[in-house]
A and B are shown apart, each in its own frame.
Chain A
Amino acid sequence: MIISADRLTKQFRTLRRKEGPLGAIATLFSRDYEIKDAVRDVSFKLDAGELVGYIGPNGAGKSTTIKMLTGILVPTSGTCTVDGIVPWADRQANGRQIGVVFGQRTQLYWDLPLIESFQLLRAIYNVPAATYERNLREFTELLGLDEFIRTPVRQLSLGQRMRGDFAAAMMHEPKVVFLDEPTIGLDVVAKENIRQFIARVNRDRGTTFILTTHDLADIEKLCARIILIDHGRKLYDGSVETIKGRYGRNRTLTADLNCENCDDVRITVPGANVVSREGPRIVIEFDRDAVRADELVVKLAQHYELRDVTIAEPPLEAIIRDIYQHGLGDGSVAARDGLLVTADVETVS
C-alpha cells in the first residue's frame, strides 16, 4: 500500500455576502462565515503500481483531495499518508517522492529553452547525473522531445508543452504521480501520445498514478480502477468493469431502415424505447437484462428492411453522467429515462 487516505475532510470558510445598497460595506465588517465541505470523510487505499482514475463533476472535491495528498492543503480533519509520509507535515520529504502535472499550469520556465527547465529541476530534485541522462534519453525518445527541446517554452504548442511537462514531472523518478487534467485541450493525437506515455511508465517502472480528468476516454484507456466522488463524498470505488456491469446495462441499437414514412415506425417490445429518429436512422435503447438483442433485431426485421444495424454498450461517459445526475440508486438508472445521448453511441463500434 502506497497511499492511504483516512476520513479526509476539508472545509472552506467563505464570508457570506450581504444584500442591499450598503451590502459591500456590510460584508467588509461581517464575521458571518459560511462553511462548505469541499471534501467529506473520503477514505481509500492505493497499492504501489496502481493507475487510478479520480473522477467527479466540477466542484466535487477532486482537486481539493489531490491538494491534500500533495501537501498543498492541510485537511480540516482526517489524515493521509503517501508512502508513510504525512504530506503537509513534511512537504519536502513528500516532494522528493511525488511528481505533479497540472494540465492547466506548466512548471516549465516560459522564457527558457525546454532543456533548461530540465536542468533546473535536476538541481532542485538533486537527480544524480547518470539517472538524469538516462531519463532524458528515454523521455526524449518516448515523447519525441528532440524536435523542440532547444525551443523556448513560450513558443511551444500546447501538445509539445504538455509532453515537456510530463518529462519534467518524471525526471526525478517519483514513486507517485498526480495528474490533474493532463490531457485538457489536447488534440486526439497528442492525447493518445500522453496516454501511451502514462501506460508505459506505469508498466515499466511500476509508478503509481492518480489521474483526475473530465475526459473519460482517458480513464477507459488507462485505468482499471476508479474512485468517483461528488459533493465531496466518495460515491464509488472499484473497477471500471464493475461499474459498467452494474450501471451500464443499457444497450443502444442503431438501425438504418428502408422505409418510406420512417416517422411512422413503431416498436412494441417491452423494455425497448425509440430514443431518436432521423430520416431512415432509428435509435432504440433497451435493457440488456430485459430484452434480448436478437429478438429485437428479428422483430424489427419482420416489419422493415434493414440496411445496417449496430449494437453498442454505453460509453463510460454516459454511465458516469447518469450517476452524477441520479446518484447510484439501483442498477438500471440509465434505462429509466432514456438518458443516453445517441451521439455517443455512434462512436462506439
Chain B
Amino acid sequence: MASLAPYWRTYAEFWRLNFLTLAEYRANFFVWLVFTLVLHGSAIATIWLTMNRFPIMNGWTWQQVVFLYALYWLASSLNGTLFFTVGDVPWHIREGRFDRFMVRPLDPLFQIISQPGQIWPDELIVATIFFAIVQGLVHLQWTIGVAGLLLGAMVGGAFIDFAIQLAVATLAFWVVRLDTLRWVVMSLETDFTRYPLSIYNRVVRFTLSFIFPFAFINYFPASTLLHKTAQGDYAVNPLLGWLTPLIGALWFTAAYLFWRRGLDHHQSTGS
C-alpha cells in the first residue's frame, strides 16, 4: 500500500528548496515581480480606460469590473503558485527529460508540480492585497457565506485554470509543438475574463461556461456576490456562483484522466 508520507515530505522539501533559491536568484525575483506588476497594472489600466468611455457595462460599474479582475487574479495566481510548472511538460517531453518522472515512485504529475525552481508566492500576495483593496470599492458585505463562496471561487478557480493547462500540456504526448494552442487558450482566458460574460454573444458564453469554464473563475461568483442576476438580456442564476469548486473538481478529474492516458502514450524521444 502506497503511503502518503513521501508526498508531503517531498512537498515540504520542495518549498524549502524554493526559498533556498530565493537568496541566490534575488535579482531574478525582483525582475519577475516588477514584470508581474507591470503586466497586471496595464491590464487594470485598460479596464479603467474602457470603463471611462462606458461608465456602465451591462449594468456593471467600473469598480465591479475591477472586482471581476481581482477575483480572477486571485485564482490564477493561486494556480500560478501551486501548479505553475505544468506548463513545462511539453518542454520536458520534447527534450527527453520527462522519462525521469516515470521511473520514480511518485505520481509524475505530483513530481512536475513539485519541481524545485524559482517559484515563490509573491504574485499571490500581491493579488491578495489588490483584492483586499477592491472588495472595499464594491462594498462587499462579509458574512461566512460570502467568505465561503470566495474561497470556493479562488480554490475551484485555480483548479479550473490548472485543469485547462494540464489538458493542453497533455496533448504534448501526441503532438510535438503546442506553443500556438497554448497561446490561443491563454489569450482566451486573459481576454475574455476581463469583462462581464453578458457582453459577449452566445457562442462565447457557451464556450466560457462549458468548454473552457473560465466564467466560473470570476464571472459567476462575482455575479452572485454582487447580486447581478439580470444583466441586459442575460439572466444569471445566483446558484451558479457556488458551483466553481464542483466545476474545478470535474474539469480537473477529466484532465487528470486524460493525462493518465497520455502517460501510456508517451513515446520518449531520443536515446
Contact (A92, B24) CB under 8 Å given A102-B99, A119-B13, A125-B104: no
Name the one of B24, B111, B264 contacting A111, with C-beta atoms under 8 angstroms: B24
Cβ of A202 within 8 Å of any chain B Cβ, yes or no, is no
Flag if B17 contacts A116 (CB, 8 Å).
yes
**Pairwise interchain contact A92-B105, C-beta atoms closer than 8 A:** yes
Whole-angstrom distance between the Cβ of B249 and the nearest chain A Cβ? 23
Which listed residue, A98, A112, A181, touches B103 by the CB 8 Å rule?
Answer: A98
Asked whether, in the complex, the Cβ of B106 is within 8 Å of the Cβ of A124, the reply is yes
Is A116 in contact with B99, judged by CB distance below 8 angstroms? no
- Interface: A25 (CB within 8 A): no
A73 contacts B103, C-beta separation under 8 Å: no
Fill in one digit per residue for B97-135: 1 if any A CB lies within 8 Å of its CB, else 0: 101101111111001000011000000000000000000
Q: Once the chains are docked, how many angstroms separate the CA of A124 from the CA of B263?
A: 19
Contact with A along B158-197 (1 / 0, CB 8 A): 0000000000000000000000000000000000000000
Answer whether residue A267 sits at the interface, using C-beta atoms and an 8 A cutoff.
no
Residues of chain A lying within 8 A (CB to CB) of residue B81: none
Q: Please give, as numbers and ranges, the residues of chain B lying within 8 Å of A104 by CB-CB distance.
A: 271
Contact flag A73-B20 (CB < 8 Å), given A67-B99, A102-B99, A124-B106: no
> Which residue of B3, B5, B100 contacts A105 across the interface (Cβ within 8 Å)?
B100
A312 within 8 A of B: no
- Decide if B17 touches A72 in the complex (CB within 8 Å): no
- Given A72-B99, A95-B103, A105-B100, do A123 and B3 touch, yes or no (CB 8 Å)? no
- The distance in angstroms between the C-alpha atoms of A93 and B3, with both chains bound, is 11
Q: Is the CB of A124 within 8 A of B6?
A: yes
Chain A min CB distance to B104 (Å): 5
CB–CB B106/A111 < 8 A: no
**Cβ-defined contact, A73 with B266, below 8 A:** yes
Known contacts A109-B17, A125-B104, A126-B6; 16 further A-B pairs (Cβ under 8 A) = A67-B268, A70-B102, A71-B102, A72-B266, A88-B264, A92-B107, A93-B105, A94-B103, A102-B99, A102-B100, A105-B96, A105-B100, A116-B116, A120-B10, A120-B14, A124-B104
B residues bordering A, Cβ < 8 Å? 2-3, 5-6, 9-10, 12-14, 17, 20-21, 24-25, 96-97, 99-100, 102-108, 111, 116-117, 263-264, 266-268, 270-271
